[in-house]
Structure 1
């Protein structure tokens, strides 16, 4: 009976959430329908609409919290409708602002995700704004609990539904393959948001006494108190000591240019700040000590990380990733200062700081992508000129570029190409492709690290398969082969023969390693050789007789250039090279072998 009563209460709260957040629920329902359409037809792509309605759901969520915090006591229904209308208007504005993209690029996706994150921060912050009844850390705790309870229930429900679907499909009847995806879509887009909203209380204002229900939402479970106080905080403390030791031991070496610090510091600061905010809901010796010490430790560590990232800009330029890392370092420093020297009632101002920084990161012309774009294009052109690769706005390949400069040029060129900025550089050839045109354009291979130098000093040729039309002719048999040789590594000098049949007569393709290259021999059923071809001759014809050190290139081959024929009166052996590469110690070939018995 208690279970049934509990279920009734849950559904009652979820029903109340629909009345409380009607626009949010409507938008999430539309998201669910769009996902269902894409599940049924994988060709459809509603990414733009999905992001639009997710933004709209978040806007209406924040709008309702603003109404409840400042206007609900006055029963100003007109203002509530006005807020709902403003949410719809901003959602429509977002739809047109992002443009008619069919597929989202990285910049649009990242900006949308940052916007969603900022709206969730606002959702947590609004109830505590100028509110003596509710502090920021209490609002944060309420949302934190609601999120994890929702995630737990949704995960259990999803696992249960998946198990029932699998059992029914395997044991009873064949089910539609998309049915499980539809069920999980309903759980993710409808049940989870509704349950989360049902766990979000109507926060009291200064003029309303905190109810028993509200106290329950703000209560810290004993399990969570023990977990945070005696497990999480000690672990964060040990992690802090390790980072401090790392900084002290390496501050005079390559510390300032070591990329290892950035991911370590970001993960440390994120976890540490979450634990810090939650610790204000618990008063015991460990949490009080943590609140006193951690913010003051966070300040110098965040400053170190930020300075190290800024120094890295001088070497590799500013990317959008490093832009966000620096911005986060600034935020972490401000959090440390606020929690170290300001009173409890001002702690919620960190949400305002985060909102301002988030806005700066997505608003042109100072957003992450605009700033990083100008930085990378400028650095790219600068490095090309410094290394005599760009003279009078014309590219001139140069094989004498130092290794360090090669690494910088490769990283910048890769970033520019992956972000689609290459069309803005007039000196790059039309239809420039980083992976096939880099070596012919600059005179050296893509070099991402010191260890790439030896690996990339070789000859690489690939069949251009974009316009692949190959006549099979009168071939009786086609065999796909990949053969390779590596110096000082064990290899089978004679591979098992490949048996094939033509006109009821058996033949075999023999592959024997002769030195560094394989020789192909076609034999009849009596073992008599009919024709043979050394792959060394093929390598030399494609790559030429220049040594590896004299010649290093990545190049695509046309079908005509990739086709080689050896024939006599008995057999015609035609080889189509799919890929071929050679270094001083290694060679490899992938090819189609077409055999015609005359």
Structure 2
């Protein structure tokens, strides 16, 4: 086997850079932004957000620039016209950085994905915008598909090899390479090596591909013996389920939508992969399979529309339900086209899907505007039902009279709107300037039970906005996790709490020999041996915490105590943890401390912070506590 020389590799990289200069620049910008973001993780929310946005724009710019390059090459455009076309594509992509801001709107992650999907599809047909050239179109995309898989494999192997080498240096020479070193290594391999390798394999002779009738045997085997059988299994299960719901006359389950889409994806992908060989004598059965695939898809699409429509009618439109309906409409269009037309043009699949995707991103018809208006209407209906909507504004509800179902539904809707569309999406229903409220909340730093001034994470900021809205609307006792819309109305119960027994990060520990941490739900089990003491902590996550010291066992059941604390009269004795949270309380230091004795040890369980809920029984959501151990 002849290995390429360093000179040949350098020359190949130089040729790729000359052919795709804008694409390589975008890849470099995204890689640098990724490196900076890794270094800024949990340090600076604002700059970290800008880095994330730069990575997104770099991805979109690369795809849009590549589409412009391929279009220019297919049309024979050269010189200043080609440069102008590339520059226009690059500028359009860069301008998106001022529109996409996932730090404020979680829905912008979806917008980025949709842009990326649409631009990927644009790359697939940018060089084939004229009529015909179906064979070249198929060969071009087959080459890109295989090149992508190869670059992914090479990148993974290269990363694992270099990561193992870095790990060996840590072990042998006591170097201190941390997790960020491996993350940065992965960013550069994916951002630069993988991109250059992929771009170097993009076909240069676009028109010559029409004369290429080669077909990988492995691809045929994969399609014929993997994809098509999978699609067949899917359709058999789905048709049987459709017969079942017709016989029992019941509404379909929501999960059936994913199965139908899975069948459609497997089926269409398999049909595209075998497209060039469908006319061969030994493959005549493929034509029969193609028509049967689309015929069987029709009743499944009816089931898909029914499943999606049922949930839209009950709970309103969300982005995911919007996309489900949009994909169902697109699949119906594709199905009718391939059943009716004799001359089937497979270029229609990426072209139509790219247009439909762009259609759903911005504008009054977009997924985000439609879902925002739908969920705002759901919220308003809850407040109208509870006489808390006056003069077009939301007013505080009576937390005693409102049902748990309505309270939890309102909080879940608020959580959705704030996470996906920011607090300002609720501006029509508030007198306050929600933009100024968001700015003020962003200056508060939550660390455990501590409030500090400074930067905060995107998650913390969204949580602070939700807590502000809950308090402002009298929804403090309710939770977005308190139940779904189908539960039976019941009197409201305070079902979400956060207790803490400290107001800073400093711990005073005297007269103890060891301290053992408890984190998360407290359900973990761990064993240690220290100074000849076999220590084993056991937690089952239900409020019972057990510690074994040389087979001497202490067990703490704190649920009854928590139950007694949340008595309405008892809880009012403690001040709230912060002004934005109506269910967080600071307790005196001795209220969350429990002590027991064994033969050789004294054990104290000190709860630093605990979050729990109660609907019927106490359920621990998270705990941060310590076992303090003293030898006798």
Scaled by the length of structure 2, the TM-score of the pair is 0.71
- The change in CA–CA distance for 1:126 and 1:559 in structure 2 (over 3 A counts) is same
User: Which of 242, 255, 272 is residue 260 of structure 1 equivalent to?
Assistant: 255
Question: 1:38 Cα shift?
Answer: 3.4
**8 Å CA contact 1:319, 1:372 repeated in 2:** yes
Residues 1:86 and 2:85 aligned together: no
Question: 1:315 Cα shift?
Answer: 1.0
2:352 aligns with: 353
User: Which of 192, 203, 206 is residue 204 of structure 1 equivalent to?
Assistant: 206
Residues 1:176 and 2:177 aligned together: yes
Deviation string, structure 1 residues 460-491 (Cα, Å, up to 9, x no partner) = 542368x925999998779999999xxxx9x9
**8 Å CA contact 1:469, 1:559 repeated in 2:** no
Secondary structure at the aligned position of 2:34 is classed as: helix
1:269 aligns with: 264
1:505 aligns with: none
Question: 1:163 Cα shift?
Answer: 2.6
Alignment of 1:508-523 (within 5 A): 517=560
2:583 aligns with: 555
Comparing 229-238 with 288-297, greater Cα deviation is found at 288-297
Residues 1:119 and 2:93 aligned together: no
2:467 aligns with: 433
Question: 1:318 Cα shift?
Answer: 0.8
1:296 aligns with: 295
Q: 2:306, 2:543 → 1: CA distance?
A: 55
Gaps of 5+ in 2: 438-464, 523-539, 573-580, 595-603
- The change in CA–CA distance for 1:230 and 1:175 in structure 2 (over 3 A counts) is same
**8 Å CA contact 1:437, 1:554 repeated in 2:** yes
Alignment of 1:536-555 (within 5 A): 542-543=570-571, 555=583
Q: 2:300, 2:309 → 1: CA distance?
A: 14
2:34 aligns with: 35
- The change in CA–CA distance for 1:425 and 1:564 in structure 2 (over 3 A counts) is farther
Deviation string, structure 1 residues 560-579 (Cα, Å, up to 9, x no partner) = 6996999xxxxxx9998844
**8 Å CA contact 1:458, 1:582 repeated in 2:** yes
Q: 1:116, 1:385 → 2: CA distance?
A: 40
2:21 aligns with: 22
2:234 aligns with: 239
Comparing 238-247 with 402-411, greater Cα deviation is found at 402-411
- The change in CA–CA distance for 1:559 and 1:249 in structure 2 (over 3 A counts) is same
Choose 1 or 2 for highest CA Rg: 1
Question: 1:536 Cα shift?
Answer: 8.4
Secondary structure at the aligned position of 1:3 is classed as: coil
Q: 1:537, 1:91 → 2: CA distance?
A: 58
**8 Å CA contact 1:576, 1:592 repeated in 2:** yes
**8 Å CA contact 1:303, 1:330 repeated in 2:** no
Question: 1:37 Cα shift?
Answer: 3.2
Q: 2:300, 2:563 → 1: CA distance?
A: 59
Residues 1:66 and 2:62 aligned together: no
Q: 1:350, 1:428 → 2: CA distance?
A: 48
Question: 1:189 Cα shift?
Answer: 0.9
**8 Å CA contact 1:396, 1:442 repeated in 2:** no
Residues 1:468 and 2:503 aligned together: yes
**8 Å CA contact 1:280, 1:291 repeated in 2:** no
Question: 1:240 Cα shift?
Answer: 1.0
Question: 1:66 Cα shift?
Answer: 0.7
Q: 1:411, 1:388 → 2: CA distance?
A: 19
Q: 2:508, 2:216 → 1: CA distance?
A: 77
- The change in CA–CA distance for 1:340 and 1:145 in structure 2 (over 3 A counts) is farther
Deviation string, structure 1 residues 225-254 (Cα, Å, up to 9, x no partner) = 112112221121111111111122114667
1:382 aligns with: 381
Gaps of 5+ in 1: 499-508, 519-534, 545-552, 567-572
- The change in CA–CA distance for 1:158 and 1:282 in structure 2 (over 3 A counts) is farther
Deviation string, structure 1 residues 358-394 (Cα, Å, up to 9, x no partner) = 1111122222112111110012101321344546653
> Cα RMSD between the aligned structures?
4.8
- The change in CA–CA distance for 1:564 and 1:261 in structure 2 (over 3 A counts) is closer
Alignment of 1:83-232 (within 5 A): 83-98=85-100, 101=101, 103=103, 105-135=105-135, 136-172=137-173, 174=175, 176-177=177-178, 178-205=180-207, 210=210, 215=212, 219-232=214-227
**8 Å CA contact 1:229, 1:287 repeated in 2:** no
Question: 1:590 Cα shift?
Answer: 8.2
Residues 1:365 and 2:353 aligned together: no
Q: 2:2, 2:509 → 1: CA distance?
A: 76
- The change in CA–CA distance for 1:565 and 1:224 in structure 2 (over 3 A counts) is closer
**8 Å CA contact 2:411, 2:470 repeated in 1:** no
Q: 2:411, 2:122 → 1: CA distance?
A: 41
Alignment of 1:39-54 (within 5 A): 39-42=38-41, 43=43, 44-45=47-48, 46-54=51-59
Comparing 446-455 with 237-246, greater Cα deviation is found at 446-455
- The change in CA–CA distance for 1:474 and 1:12 in structure 2 (over 3 A counts) is closer
Secondary structure at the aligned position of 2:3 is classed as: helix
Q: 1:397, 1:559 → 2: CA distance?
A: 27
Question: 1:151 Cα shift?
Answer: 1.6
1:547 aligns with: none
Q: 1:203, 1:95 → 2: CA distance?
A: 34
Secondary structure at the aligned position of 2:570 is classed as: helix
Comparing 365-374 with 434-443, greater Cα deviation is found at 434-443
Q: 2:153, 2:248 → 1: CA distance?
A: 46
2:329 aligns with: 330
2:527 aligns with: none
- How many matched pairs? 538
- The change in CA–CA distance for 1:18 and 1:255 in structure 2 (over 3 A counts) is farther
Deviation string, structure 1 residues 237-272 (Cα, Å, up to 9, x no partner) = 111111111122114667646321222222332232
**8 Å CA contact 2:467, 2:582 repeated in 1:** no
Alignment of 1:555-574 (within 5 A): 555-559=583-587
